[in-house]
Copies of this chain bind each other. A is one copy, B any other.
């Protein structure tokens, strides 16, 4: 059955989906109502055609400039690696600045240097907005740290405060299960009570 095989192949292309799971999804679609299948099919086309990148921050948006960039002050810019990281950071209701998507991190292994990231765009926005603080919110791993360091060094001469999101023990983690690097960072970044 070619139609079934095609659908399974389409599901198998999703991240983390193997053959068995793809098959399960495909059977679900076949067993669903025609309306549900049509809505699914349309939602894919619609999302693909409607969702673009914001001209300012590079995040996902249905408009040329996203709701965040068009309504908030550029005094603080939170720099993230990927568009989806914006949604994660937005769960922190207390942050009310704008974002900037780099489009990845500096990674010699994947042949990605500073020129492949949206750094020039960041410099221009800092100048345009008169930004006072840039928060580096790349992932707390080697590449994320290196990228944060690189950008911090680039921005300091401009008189911008560059900060890094804190690294330490996650809430609810038993000390016993924390790895050495995290513990080292947690001790280094200890604060007076």
Contacts and interface: CB of A to CB of B under 8 A. Distances in A.
Chain A contact residues, majority secondary structure: helix
A9 B43 CA distance: 9
A45 B51 contact: no
Interface string A16-51: 100001011111111010101111111111111011
A62 B4 CA distance: 9
Nearest to A66: B1
A96 B29 CA distance: 29
Given A1-B60, A1-B61, A45 B50 contact: no
Given A1-B60, A30-B60, A60-B30, A47 B15 contact: no
B45 A10 contact: no
- Tallying the copies of this chain within the complex gives 2
A37 B43 contact: no
Contact of A27 (B10, B61, B84): B84
Interface residues on A, range: 35 or more
A50 to B, nearest CB: 4
Contact of A7 (B3, B9, B43, B84): B43
A1 B62 contact: yes
A45 B38 contact: yes
Given A10-B39, A37-B45, A45-B38, A15 B4 contact: no
Given A47-B29, A47-B30, A3 B62 contact: yes
Interface string A113-154: 000000000000000000000000000000000000000000
Specify which of A10, A13, A32, A34 lies most central, judged by the most chain B CB atoms within 10 Å of its CB: A10
Interface string A49-81: 011000000001110000000000000000000
Interface of A: 1-4, 6-7, 9-10, 13-16, 21, 23-30, 32, 34, 36-48, 50-51, 60-62, 83-84, 87
